[in-house]
Homo-oligomer: A and B are copies of this chain.
Amino acid sequence: MFEMRERACLGRVGRLRTSHGVVETPALMPVVNPSNLLISPEELRRRFRIEILMTNAYIIYRSRFRDQVLERGIHHILDFEGPIMSDSGAFQQHVYGRVDVSNEEIVKFQTAMGSDLGAVLDIFSEPDSRWRECEEGVRETLSRCEEAVAWKGEMGLVGTVQGGLFSDLRTKCARSLSQIDLRVQAIGGVVPLMEGYRFADLVEVIIASKRGLRPDRPVHLFGAGHPITFGLAVLLGCDLFDSAAYAKYAYDGRMITRWGTTRVKNLRYVSCSCPACFDATPKDLKDDVKRLAEHNLHVSLQELEELKQAIHEGSLWEHVERRSRAHPRLLEALKTLRKHVDFLERYEKLSDGSLFYAGPESMWRPVAWRFRRRVLERYRPPEAESLLILQEARRPYSRTYASLLRDLSLKANAHAVVRSVLGPVPIELDEVYPVAQSVIPRELDVEALEASEVFLRQFLRLGHFSFGVLWEGDKTIAELASKAKGPSSLDMDMARARAVADYQFGSGASDALLGGEVELVKSKKKGKIRNVYVDSEHVLSLRAGDGLYTLKMAGGRRLHATFGPPRLRVVVNEESAPFNREGRNAFAKFVVECDDSIRPWEEVLVVDESDDLLAVGRAIMNREEMMAFQQGVAVKVREGSALS
């Protein structure tokens, strides 16, 4: 059983339940070999707080431990009471060309030794294999996974996506695995990519796999033990990692850092303050393999903690963009994400944290792409004779500057749009996420400037305006604005209320929500819209944090009446309906349908199968997730129809 607790893009903090306890993910499973325990499982648990181990069933199968393990169980032999996952020998097949065991033998062996999670003997696809070869491997892998179900007993089965570098095969293999009774879905055949620094290929493989994998199972990235790849892999939805690297690197005199690897012999300063390093000299690390292995493990675990905190605080993208500067080939991988922005965007929260510009790639973060797309598709400008296109202020987009622009556009009876690296920002949307939450340097990369011009042209091509005027530099604007004393700001407030509604809920939402006698209640301090009443009903609240609406039941009724299914709907079954009507959350396992355009954190309508409105609330998942998960909340209900 797997439950998603927090999220950012495809990344998630989750909880995986096994018969030996619960594991928080993303998690690193140190690989232990009973014949050679550099750091004992007991130490791993006590000193490193390791919750789950990985061991290689094939190696045990061929060792003197085979009978012991069968007799007393793997947990006893390893002296570890937590969950244990075992591998099948597929990797040894890659290394040695063959293995001396059948799928049946090794799966039954894993079941017998008491693994919590045991791997099918999949066919390792080499990155340079041809399509035909990979396709055969995938077919064999799938048939082995299918047959293994019969032998698994209580053990959770681990099936692995193969398919080499062929995205079609990866996705197909993943889709088929999703139909098989597996506990963990793994991505395999990637070690050669990591060894060769082929991180862009790795990203393609993970994304192609994730496109086909059902989202309610944890995903294990086989053989990823170096923290340099953790950030990208977590962002793309990998939940489990296994590391033999901490020990292997130590035996080889290499110190793992979050930026790469350093040979201990080149170490003059121990620039780490982990428990293994704090009192150590470079010589201590050079002479003591175990100490070095401990460091390697600490730094790997710390990276996962940082990633979990980044997911929690909404800074995962910033984290990954920084880490991508560890190596040019990682930067290459980061740039590759742009190709898949439409897929990534489906998993991205409606709003989350800040947007720190770190380079031209930042313009292609899914939230920036979504902003541009929604402006193009959903936004309609208020009536105006002409368009003022304003350069982004040299200094960070400021309140004063924004109010100058508003005054100015009122005076000139022109509509104002600010050209920014996120795309053109209609002045009424300047507080919407991620515009107001972005931090952009004053000096921009040429690529960013050119792209912002392209984005603007896409917007102008919509033909909202008969002609446009370009004002450059804030001095001129300030001068003009000082003379322009607009009338009241009522019109601009209404324009904002309408623009945000269309942006958030789709074209036509402003008419649905704001048709009638509108009263905008503003904050006393800053004079900003906080609540929207229509015909004396409280329809919407506007959040200060992300400039988007919270939907009230009255607003939900208006949207429900205007928009037909499936728009904005999450459909629950009759078992769930009475609870939601009373204001209780809607759980994923009761969801029967969901609007495909709903994104996590979106305000939605909960309806029953007859499209009766049950509640309004915030979606926690997108459609794919709601349909798959059997655990967790799909919609956090705010108001049920029975109570209002």
Contacts and interface: CB of A to CB of B under 8 A. Distances in A.
Interface string A197-217: 000100000000000000000
Contacts of A332: 441-443
Contacts of A269: 305-306, 308-309, 312
A445 interface: yes
Contacts of A270: 305
Interface in A314-352: 318, 321-322, 325-329, 331-332, 335-336
A136 interface: no
A443 B309 contact: no
Contact of A271 (B274, B305, B440, B443): B305
Interface string A258-300: 0100100011111111110010000000000000000000110
A327 B309 contact: no
A325 B356 CA distance: 9
Contact of A259 (B271, B322, B328): B322
Residue of A267, A321, A336, A443 contacting most chain B CB atoms (<10 Å): A443
Contacts of A446: 360, 445-447, 450
A328 B443 contact: no
A439 interface: yes
A270 to B, nearest CB: 7
B278 A442 contact: no
Residue of A309, A313, A336, A440 contacting most chain B CB atoms (<10 Å): A309
Interface in A425-450: 439-443, 445-447, 450
A308 B360 contact: no
A469 interface: no
A325 B321 contact: yes
A441 B325 contact: no
A319 to B, nearest CB: 8
Interface residues of A, number: 50
B359 A442 contact: no
Contact of A327 (B302, B356, B443): B356
Contacts of A336: 443
A357 interface: yes
B357 A331 contact: yes
Contacts of A278: 274-275
Interface string A619-643: 0000000000000000000000000
A358 interface: yes
Given A266-B313, A359-B359, A360-B446, A439 B327 contact: yes
A447 B268 CA distance: 37
A327 B360 CA distance: 14
Given A305-B271, A309-B267, A313-B262, A356 B328 contact: yes
Contacts of A356: 325, 327-328
A312 B357 contact: no
A308 B271 contact: yes
Residue of A200, A278, A331, A357 contacting most chain B CB atoms (<10 Å): A331
Residue of A268, A273, A305, A309 contacting most chain B CB atoms (<10 Å): A273
B275 A328 contact: no
Nearest to A267: B309
Given A328-B357, A331-B358, A356-B327, A308 B439 contact: no
A283 to B, nearest CB: 15
A566 to B, nearest CB: 35
A268 B445 contact: no
Contact of A325 (B301, B359, B442): B359
A259 B309 CA distance: 13
A427 to B, nearest CB: 22
Nearest to A336: B443
B328 A358 contact: yes
Given A266-B313, A441-B329, A302 B447 contact: no
A265 to B, nearest CB: 11
A443 B326 CA distance: 16
Nearest to A306: B271
Given A273-B274, A274-B274, A335-B441, 8 more contacts: A262-B313, A269-B305, A269-B308, A273-B301, A328-B441, A331-B357, A359-B359, A360-B445
22 contacts: A259-B318, A259-B322, A268-B308, A269-B305, A269-B306, A269-B309, A270-B305, A271-B306, A273-B273, A273-B299, A273-B302, A321-B325, A325-B358, A327-B439, A328-B439, A329-B439, A329-B441, A331-B441, A332-B442, A332-B443, A335-B441, A446-B447
